[in-house]
Amino acid sequence: MKNSTLTGWGIFILFIITSCAPKGSDDKASPFSDDVASKVYVAPGQFDEFYAFLSGGFSGQMSVYGLPSGRLLKVIPVFSLDAEKGYGFNEETKPLLQTSYGFIPWDDAHHPELSQTDGVPDGRWIFINGNNTPRVARIDLSTFETVEIIELPNSGGNHSSPFTTENTEYVVAGTRFSVPVPQKDVAVETYKENFKGALSFISCDPVTGHMNVAFQVLLPAFNYDLAHSGKGASHGWTFFTCYNTEEGHTLLEANASQYDKDFIAAINWKKAEEYVKQGKTHDFPTSYYHNVYDDNSHMATSEQIKSVKVLIPDECPGLVYFLPTPKSPHGVDVDPTGEYIVGAGKLSADMSVHSFSKMLKAIEDKAFEKEIAGIPVLNYDAILAGVVKSGGLGPLHTEFDATGNAFTTFFISSEIVKWKVGTWEVLDRAPCYYSVGHLMIPGGDSKKPFGKYMLALNKITKDRYLPTGPELSQSAQLYDISGDKIQLLLDFPTVGEPHYGQGIPASLVKPKSKQFFNLADNAHPHVTKSEDQAKVVRDGNVVRVYMTTIRSHFAPDNIEGIQVGDKVYFHITNLEQDWDVPHGFGVMGATNAELLIMPGQTETLLWEPLFEGVFPFYCTDFCSALHQEMQGYVRVSKKGSTVPLKWWTGSSK
C-alpha cells in the first residue's frame, strides 16, 4: 500500500510529520525515563517473553524478534533466495520456489498469521502470503523453516491472506487485483464483463499442516484487500474488505474513490462446505504448483495441479453477503468475542463497526439494499453496531487486548487510537514515528489476546535513526499497553517493510524447538551416514560426491578425476548430532551460494567447473577451534582426460 498512499497523501504526511514529531502521549510516557529502559531490558543470558514474527514486505522473508528487547533472532527465508542459508540455491529447496511461471526467486510478503486451536495461537505453524505471484507459505515453528508453498489459481495479487479460521480449518486468500478467470487475452476495457475476483479457502491438514485449495468463491471484479475470520458466535464466517467496487481499471486513486461506501464481503464457509458436498462446484481448468518440504528426506518436491473447484454465489444462496462500509475499507478485524466486525475505511475519519448478530437478523429479515451478481447487499443501518469517532485520519488496522479495548492505526495522522469495544469511546492515543501501517498485539487478532505489548509497524523513519543514504530502514515501535495509558518503550529497525506481525508467548514455541535432525531418520536419496560410506560416483558427465562433515574435516577432502563440463553434485551430510553445530560448504568459482547444513541434514550444491586446475573448498561456518583447517581440494582436468576418479581423506585410497 506504500506507493499508492504516498502519491495521494504525500503532502498531508509531510504536514503531519512536522506537526506531531516530538510529542509523547503524556509525561509518564517519556521514552527517557529509567522506568521505560528497565521495561525493555532483557539481561544478557536472559530470554525474551514473546516471539514476534514480522513480515519482510518486499524482502519476501519473515523475521523473528524477541519482545520486549527487540533482538533480531532469525530471518526465515520464505519467498526470496537467501545465500546465507543456501535457500533456493541448494537442490533441496529449489522446488519450494517453483510456480506455474517457473522458478521465482522473490515475492512481496505482507501478513504472517499463526495457526490457531480454538481461536488461540498454538505455536505450531505460521503462514505468510506472497502478494505478487499469488502464494501462501507455511513455516514450521519447530524448525523455523519454510516447509510448504502453495500457489493460488485464478488470482492476481494475493493480499487478503493468509488469515486463519478458529482451528486452522482454512487459511484464506483473496485476490487483490481482479483478473480474467480463467486467464485470457481480452481488452482491459472489458474489465466489468471479463474480470472476476476469486477468494480461496485453503484447507490445512490438522496433523501435517499440508495445504490444499479446497474451493474458491468467484466474486465481482472488486479489489479484495484484507480479511479476518469470525470466532466464537461468528465462527464459520470469513470477512473480506473490498475497495474499487466502482470496478475501475485505470487511475484507481480517483476512480476507486467515487462511492461513499464499499463493502465487506461476508462468506459463510460452513455453507460453502455444504455446497461443495452437494457437488455445486465447477471444475475450472488451471495450473498451479504445490511444493512441500519433508524433514526426513530433507527435500522439497513440487506437484502441478490442473483444476480447482469454484463456487458461483448466484447458484449458492446464503453463501455471500455484502456489508456496506465507508470509504475504501482496508483492514477488517473481528473482536475477541466474534460479535464486532471493524471496517477501517482508509479515506474516512470514523470507523463503522458492524454487529454479527444484527447481520444475522438482517439476513433473516431480508433487510437488503440491492443485489449485485446475486449477492444481497445488507442494509447499512440494520447491521451497524456503532461508529468510532476517533479524531484520527486514515484508519488502517485494529487489534485487541484482553480487557475489551481496541487499538487502531491511523496512517495519515501517524498515531494509534485506543477505544472501548461496545461504547466506541476513545480512551487514549499515542503518536507513531511515522506513518504506521499495521500494528501487532500478541494474540491481538485471536479469541484470547495475550496483550501486554503493542508493536506499531511504521513505513517511514526519517529522523529516527542514523542516516544510511537514500534508503532508510522501516521500523517497529514497542508500546506498553498494560495500563490505562499507552506508553512508548522502544524503537527498533526491521528487515524489509513489516506490514503485519504476530506475537506469541515464547513458552508456546520454545519447548518444541528442534535442536538437530536425527541422522538415523535421514531418508535423503543421497545421504551418507558414515565417513566410510563417502564416495564419488560418475555417470556420464554427472558426478555425485557423497560427502560427510564432522568437526573438523570433510570426507573425502581430496578429489581427482573431475573434468571440465561435468555437473558435480556435492551431496553433503552433516554427521553431527548436537545442537548448534552446522557446517558450511563453499567451493571456489561455483556460480551458487554456500550450503549451510544443519546437524543430521543432507544438502546438495551443484557445481559446474569451467576451467582446469585445482580448486579449494572449505567450511564457511566457524564450527570449532580447527574450523580454519576444515578444507579440501578438487582437481579438475580437461574433458576426456585419463586422470582416474579418486578420492580420499588422510591416506590415499
Name the residue type at position 30.
Answer: S
C-alpha grid cell, residue 266: 461476508
DSSP states along 367-420: -EEEEETTEEEEPHHHHEEEEE--S-SSEEEEEE-TTSEEEEEETTTTEEEEEE
Which of 418/438 has CB closer to ligand K7E? 438
Residues of this chain, 303-332, that bind ligand K7E according to CB under 6 A: 330
Which of 52/545 has CB closer to ligand K7E? 52
Is residue 208 classed exposed, middle or buried when 0-12, 13-18 and 19+ CB atoms within 10 A define those classes?
A: exposed
User: Which of residues 583, 587, 609, 617 is near ligand CUA by CB under 6 A?
Assistant: 583
Query: What is the per-residue binding string for ligand K7E in 479-518, x denoting contact by CB under 6 A?
Result: --------------------xx------------------
Q: 502, 500, 453: which is closest to 115 by C-alpha?
A: 502
215 binds, among ligand K7E, ligand CUA, none (CB under 5 to 8 A by kind): none
Rounded CA separation 315/312 (Å): 6
Rounded CA separation 69/37 (Å): 10
- Our finding on whether 1 is near ligand K7E (CB under 6 A) is yes
- Our finding on whether 396 is near ligand K7E (CB under 6 A) is yes
**Is-contact 55 112, C-beta < 8 A?**
yes
Residue 465 CA: distances (Å) to CA of 82, 95, 406, 461, 521: 26, 39, 30, 7, 48
Rounded CA separation 299/92 (Å): 5
- Our finding on whether 15 is near ligand CUA (CB under 6 A) is no
For residue 303, what is the enclosing H or E element? Answer: strand 299-311
| Smallest distance from ligand CUA to CB 639, Å | 32
Q: Nearest to ligand K7E by Cβ — which residue?
A: 437
438 binds, among ligand K7E, ligand CUA, none (CB under 5 to 8 A by kind): ligand K7E
- CA angle in degrees (0–180, nearest 5) for 515-516-517: 140
583 binds, among ligand K7E, ligand CUA, none (CB under 5 to 8 A by kind): ligand CUA
User: Which of residues 230, 326, 336, 437 is near ligand K7E by CB under 6 A?
Assistant: 437
623 binds, among ligand CUA, ligand K7E, none (CB under 5 to 8 A by kind): ligand CUA
138 binds, among ligand K7E, ligand CUA, none (CB under 5 to 8 A by kind): none
CB atoms within 10 A of CB 252: 15
Which of 552/558 has CB closer to ligand CUA? 552
**Is-contact 524 573, C-beta < 8 A?**
yes
Output the CA torsion 551→594→52→203 (10° steps). -110
User: Which of residues 110, 135, 228, 524 is near ligand K7E by CB under 6 A?
Assistant: 110
Which of 62/596 has CB closer to ligand K7E? 62
| Smallest distance from ligand CUA to CB 303, Å | 35
Residues of this chain, 592-631, that bind ligand CUA according to CB under 6 A: 619, 621-623, 627, 630
Rounded CA separation 366/356 (Å): 15
635 binds, among ligand K7E, ligand CUA, none (CB under 5 to 8 A by kind): none
621 binds, among ligand K7E, ligand CUA, none (CB under 5 to 8 A by kind): ligand CUA
627 binds, among ligand K7E, ligand CUA, none (CB under 5 to 8 A by kind): ligand CUA
Q: 597, 533, 607: which is closest to 569 by C-alpha?
A: 607
Chain residues binding ligand CUA by CB under 6 A are 549, 552, 583, 619, 621-623, 627, 630
